Amino acid sequence: MDISKDIIERAARGEIPAFEEIYKSSSGFVYNVALRISASEHEASEITQDVFVKLFSGLKSFNHKSSFNTWLYRVAVNEALNRRKKSNLENSRRAEFDESVEANPALREDPVGKSVNENIDKDKVAELLSLVNEEHRVVLVLREMQGLNYEEMSRVLGININTVRTRLKRAREILIKKVKENGMQ
Amino acid sequence: MECNKARELMLSDYMDGMLNKETSGEVEKHIASCQSCAGYYRSAVSAFVPFRKSRALGVPPAVWEGIRGRLAAVPEDEQAFNIKSMFEIFHSKWANAAVFTSMLLLTLFAGTYFAENMASSANSRLRQAPEEFASNIGFSEFEDMPGDQSKNVFSIIGG
Ligand SMILES: [Zn+2]
């Protein structure tokens, strides 16, 4: 269910109770989308916080032209992808650091940060999603888990419906192939 | 229907229930008659079972607490305060009256200030004038000068 214009306007004026109402009705999907894209409960919590903190100051620019949830999905997906990009960058830096630690025993005393993926969900869906790339993971999450239709996905992702269809078909194709290859069936 | 077309539809519109009766009937007819595609369809369906079974996780309560804390830390001007809400403050009747009164007082004050300033600068010009006149113009012309100073000048020159 979409949030009423009145609640959005009140929250845009800085009314915390109105903002909390928005949070209560939409934090669930923001968190779950973030969780499935990031594959980490810790990351999902941080992404959800970032999304809502940004939302609080960005609410006044919401023009009611698109559905509020569509808009929120878009912010959540982008935030999750941006975080992944950052994490991947950090991971590759960490890998470089690990290599340098290997090469230089004097550095071994330094604490090496824990991998951001340490909290990866151990469930079957997380396992399946880990088999595909980010672009495909996003369409699978939005379609298979959030139940968005092609048109909604097109609006969330800012791509045309045909691209949604093609991307989703490709994502499923790859997933089926990888499931077979990994003997997961 | 060809295998390629059947599989393409199987993994998109057919799976998502977006085909019309006629086309979805064609896909089903193909699956029924093609062993390879029937096997493919079964693996497709079973691959996505976990997605359909999975439940959404609840958001940890610490998330809202974190947001609340961060909102409190956001500086006032970055919070959801905007020009519109500022105008809404001024929409009240009393606020409008206050704005009108202060503008009126400002105008009156400015008017008085300028009037006084003009007068005093005019006076200072007059105060300097006799000496300049005395050195630059003829004696007889001072007869028309108003005020005490012209008399003084007269008396100095005359004395
Ligand atoms: Zn076939």
The pLDDT value given to residue A88:
72
CA closest to A142 among chain B residues: B51
Mean pLDDT of B83-97: 54
Sign (positive/negative) of CA torsion A132, A137, A143, A144?
Answer: positive
The pLDDT value given to residue B27:
95
Q: What is the pLDDT of residues B125-134, one digit of tens each?
A: 444 444 333 3
Facing residue for A185 by CB, picked from B16, B46, B74: B46
Helix axes A161-181, B35-47, angle to 10 degrees: 90
Asked if residues A154 and A70 have their Cβ atoms less than 8 Å apart, the reply is: no
Lowest mean pLDDT across A18-32, A110-124, A133-147, B76-90: A110-124
What number is the ipTM of this complex?
Answer: 0.77
CA distances from A64 to A136, A180, B82 (A): 29, 45, 18
Amino acid letter, A77: V
A62 touches chain B (CB under 8 A): no
Class of the CATH-defined domain A114-185:
mainly alpha
Q: What are phi and psi of A41, to 5 degrees?
A: -65, -40
d(CA A35, CA B56) in angstroms, rounded, equals 10
Q: Residue B47: pLDDT above 60?
A: yes
Q: What CATH code is assigned to A1-85?
A: 1.10.1740.10
> What residues have CB less than 8 Å from A65, skipping those under 6 apart?
none
Rg (CA), chain B: 47
The pLDDT value given to residue A2:
72
The pLDDT value given to residue A147:
93
Asked if residues B39 and B7 have their Cβ atoms less than 8 Å apart, the reply is: no
The pLDDT value given to residue B153:
35
Q: What is the pLDDT of residues A96-113, one digit of tens each?
A: 656 665 555 444 443 333
How far is the alpha carbon of B89 from chain A, nearest alpha carbon, in Å? 12
Facing residue for B62 by CB, picked from A45, A59, A179: A45
Q: Can you give the residue ranges of every domain in chain B?
A: 3-53, 93-157
How far is the alpha carbon of B117 from chain A, nearest alpha carbon, in Å? 47
Mean pLDDT of A30-54: 94
Which tokens hold the place of A3? Answer: 């949030």
Q: Can you give the residue ranges of every domain in chain A?
A: 1-85, 114-185
Asked if residues B65 and B57 have their Cβ atoms less than 8 Å apart, the reply is: no
Average per-residue pLDDT for chain B: 70
Q: What is the DSSP letter of A13?
A: T
The CA dihedral of A19, B84, A58, A56, to the nearest 10 degrees, is -20
Closest CA to B48 of B75, B73, B12, B23: B12
Q: Residue B157: pLDDT above 70?
A: no
pLDDT greater at residue A66 or residue A89: A66
